[in-house]
Amino acid sequence: MKTDTKLSLTDLLALDRTRLANERTFLAYFRTFIVFISSGLAIVKLDILEDIKWLGILLTIVGPVMLVIGTIRFFYVKRHLKKLYNYDG
């Protein structure tokens, strides 16, 4: 559904808000990745937390998965904005 007409100012501002929301969402995924990796490695390395070492391993595995999901989602939304509205941001 490409639009051949020029977008109004209201529509352009809405697209800007959508693009910024997409970036914020990616940064939230990235923050989650950093917290999962750092927490997981801390749990694995500390001898006092030997009882929950499995949790550290799980967090270390789930962290990169979160980053991949966030990256895929970011580029998916960005591509659809460009495709549907001819909008480069």
**pLDDT tens-place string over residues 34-77:** 999 999 999 999 999 999 999 999 999 999 999 999 999 999 99
Contact in structure between 43 and 53 (CB atoms under 8 Å): yes
SS3 47: helix
Residue 4 lies in a domain: no
Residue 65 lies in a domain: yes
Burial class (CB in 10 A: 0-12, 13-18, 19+), 8: exposed
Query: According to the model, what pLDDT value does residue 12 have?
Result: 86
Residue 55 lies in a domain: yes
**pTM metric for this prediction:** 0.83
Q: In the chain, pLDDT over 90 holds for what percent of residues?
A: 75
Q: Name the residue with tokens 């997409």.
A: 22
Residue 41 lies in a domain: yes
Is 3 a residue whose pLDDT tops 60? Answer: no
Residue 2 lies in a domain: no
Count the domains in the chain: 1
Q: Which domain holds residue 42?
A: 9-85
Residue 1 lies in a domain: no
